[in-house]
Amino acid sequence: MHALQAMCIIVIVGRETGFARRVDRWRVRLERISAMPESNLTVALTGPTGTFGFGLVPLLQADERIARVVGIARRPFDGNEHGWTKMTYRRGDVRDLAALEEAFQGAEVVVHLAFMITGAASRETIRQINVQGTLNAFRAAVAVGARRFVYASSVAAYGFHRDNPVGMSEDWPARPAAHLFYAQEKAEIERLLEQEAAGHVGLEVYLLRPPIVLGPDVVGAKNVAPGPLAPLVRLLGRVVGRVPLPVITPPVPVQFIHQEDVGQAFLLCILGAGPPGVYNITGDGVLSGAQVLRELGLTPIPAPARLLRAAARGVAALPFAPPFAGWAEAITHPAIMDASKAKQELGWRPRYTSLEALRDTLTTS
């Protein structure tokens, strides 16, 4: 699925975020939860410079019940450039427990968004950031006496198993995928957090499982490509937007969620709008692979789904393939969720359908 997200990223490279035009929409959406009793909260946030952060921090900035935000991430970043005047930004690494404890001091709520999907780092480094970094964030939240811990999990935690139903609810078990390390680690982290939380009943734990997250800030503050490659990526984006290149149709349907809808779900958890626990969140509607390709300006080429899935399983299982080959497993079985629980218990309502989230990503200028 993240190969698809990469195509979306290429199409939108070089476009403006349109941040100012969305401020009014954020304020209107905050009115839905304005009756909640929380006030004067300090929220500590790991990974504020990514897509999730760009969906959430503007909501925290606009909400009068949030007094202060502390953001911690590894790269240089100035929140003031985005109007995030409530946020104190600190450079730090989630592998450093002491740094997290220092940054989280005084926080009633800790939100953990930092996660490494791929890159040039070794698998050992990625695992230290993803697994140990999450445990460090949780333990630091315990150490400073936080009341809530909110974690960004993923639909990938369910794995891509042949017996997974289409329309999975939170009652369906999270199980490690066979090959995709990202999905394996998401499932493992959920299990480890459940074990850790059992010993700290005073800390409310919320886990949100989104599908692919889209929106105008789909890469947050990150560069899509290293500096020397940026012109090439921009050129490729223009070609994809103008020439209907033929592409074999992915054999599985997909769901998307808009960054603003993710942000609203996280805000509801921060404010304790519903009981702690696991929540699926996704835009309404399911898109076929052919629909997605057409929206991207590509020409879908039909192919036998069974053959494509078998080929994907084979690629994912190659013993000496590079790590990104594991993403082929994501098209071996649909990963479609039911978000009824979040709507009923959190009072969450997505503003964007899956299709609207994709179109807003591609058309926002």
Q: How confident is the model at residue 242 (pLDDT cuts 50, 70, 90)?
A: low
Q: How many CB atoms lie within 10 A of CB 289?
A: 21
Interhelix angle 2-12/230-242, rounded to 10 degrees, is: 90
First to last CA, the chain: 24
Q: What is the pLDDT of residues 104-146, one digit of tens each?
A: 999 999 999 999 887 667 888 999 999 999 999 999 999 999 9
Domain segments of the chain as ranges: 2-363
Q: What gap in Å lies between CA 101 and CA 118, rounded to an integer?
A: 27
Q: What is the pLDDT of residues 29-87, one digit of tens each?
A: 455 445 455 789 999 999 999 999 999 999 999 999 999 999 999 989 999 999 999 99
pTM for this prediction: 0.85
81-91: b (≥16 Cβ within 10 Å) or e: ebebebbebee
The angle formed by the CA atoms of residues 231, 120 and 134, to the nearest 5 degrees, is: 120
Residue type at position 257: I
pLDDT (0 to 100) of residue 319: 85
Residue type at position 28: V
Cβ neighbors of 14 (< 8 A, separation 6 or more) are 234, 237
Cβ pair 276, 205 in contact under 8 A: yes
User: Which has the closest alpha carbon to 358: 264, 292, 289?
Assistant: 292
User: Which has the closest alpha carbon to 47: 19, 89, 14?
Assistant: 89
Helix or strand run (H / E) with residue 277: strand 277-280
User: Which has the closest alpha carbon to 205: 135, 256, 120?
Assistant: 135
User: Which has the closest alpha carbon to 97: 46, 61, 24, 147?
Assistant: 46
* CATH superfamily of the 2-363 domain: NAD(P)-binding Rossmann-like Domain (3.40.50.720)
Higher local confidence (pLDDT), 13 or 359: 359
Count of helix runs (H) and strand runs (E) in the chain: 13, 11
- Could you tell me what percent of the chain has a pLDDT over 90? 70
